[in-house]
Chains A and B, each alone.
Chain A
Amino acid sequence: DSGVTQTPKHLITATGQRVTLRCSPRSGDLSVYWYQQSLDQGLQFLIHYYNGEERAKGNILERFSAQQFPDLHSELNLSSLELGDSALYFCASSPPPAEGFGNQPQHFGDGTRLSIL
């Protein structure tokens, strides 16, 4: 158990809909990262939040948005869903950086499997 909690575990919805994925980081971790894992794209970094602030963006579509709340949990919002958005979405957290971001391992949740019908 990594200590990172993601809900829901599975989500089935239709094209055009909007969903919200939730992530609670490990106790003490201030950073939250979101990733998308699909069969053809591998593990793609979406976005990084640190203590409530957006810090880095990767290949995140404009239809997707995220935020980190004061209690440090994070939500990833996916809207106008398309068939190609079907994937496993991972959240990861890491402790405060000792010397700049990137030196701490990320601990991953079990993921949310999103299926678009």
Chain B
Amino acid sequence: AQKVTQAQTEISVVEKEDVTLDCVYETRDTTYYLFWYKQPPSGELVFLIRRNSFDEQNEISGRYSWNFQKSTSSFNFTITASQVVDSAVYFCALSELGGPGNQFYFGTGTSLTVIP
């Protein structure tokens, strides 16, 4: 079963529109971390945000905001007033603590296209 589900495969919006990227995760752990990464057309993966399972406060960073809701196991990402430079594939990831090592579980990504 997928531990991280990003149901939106592709989204297109017109510049200046707001857009929300959905992420639903599955874990039995009480302590875990959630992440969002951006992969622009150039290919590199860029870390955007980390959230631990005990902190349900929403976070805002400029035009970016994140809504973490444990009750629905969701960690959604909203871009306000989108810009062409926001066009990228966005990945949500889950990390479970504990154990001798660690692996990140990535969603399949949402490809966002911002049309000028």
Which residues of A are at the interface with B, using a C-beta cutoff of 8 A? 2, 31, 33, 35, 42-45, 48, 50, 54-56, 58, 88, 90, 92, 97, 99-103, 105-111
Contact = CB atoms under 8 A, between A and B. Distances in A.
B62 interface: no
B47 A107 contact: yes
B99 A56 contact: yes
B32 interface: yes
A31 B46 CA distance: 17
Chain A binding site: helix, strand, loop or mixed by DSSP?
strand
A57 to B, nearest CB: 8
A88 B89 CA distance: 15
B81 interface: no
B96 A110 contact: no
Contact of B44 (A2, A33, A50, A56): A2
A88 B43 contact: yes
Given A55-B101, A101-B102, A107-B47, A43 B109 contact: yes
